[in-house]
Amino acid sequence: MLKSSLDLHQSARTGHGLELVLQATSLEAVRNSFVNSVRRIWNELSAEVATTHDLRQFKRLKRSPEVYAALSIRNVIRKVESNL
């Protein structure tokens, strides 16, 4: 479920007015699922990336080295180069 504030003010938690929220669960299979991984990544995106309305611009922004570095520093994603 995508939770959005009406005025899209910045959330202290996500940094943007959109937050992907999933129901809490104790099942290990759900906690390690693809959907939960996507939720963590989405909620850590910058406001600039998450609130863009143009699909091409969103794809370009999410592929930028700055976004990749910010997500890997916060341990949201693993840095691929370090595993090689």
**DSSP string computed for 23-74:** -----HHHHTSHHHHHHHHHHHS-HHHHT---HHHHHHHHTSHHHHHHHHHT
Distance CA 33, CA 48 (A): 26
Note the pLDDT tens digit of each residue in 54-73: 999 999 999 999 998 999 99
Note the pLDDT tens digit of each residue in 12-42: 555 677 887 877 777 777 777 888 888 888 9
Longest dimension (CA), the chain: 44
Distance CA 9, CA 46 (A): 13
Question: What are the residues whose beta carbons fall under 8 Å from the beta carbon of 49, sequence distance 6 or more?
Answer: 58, 61, 62, 67
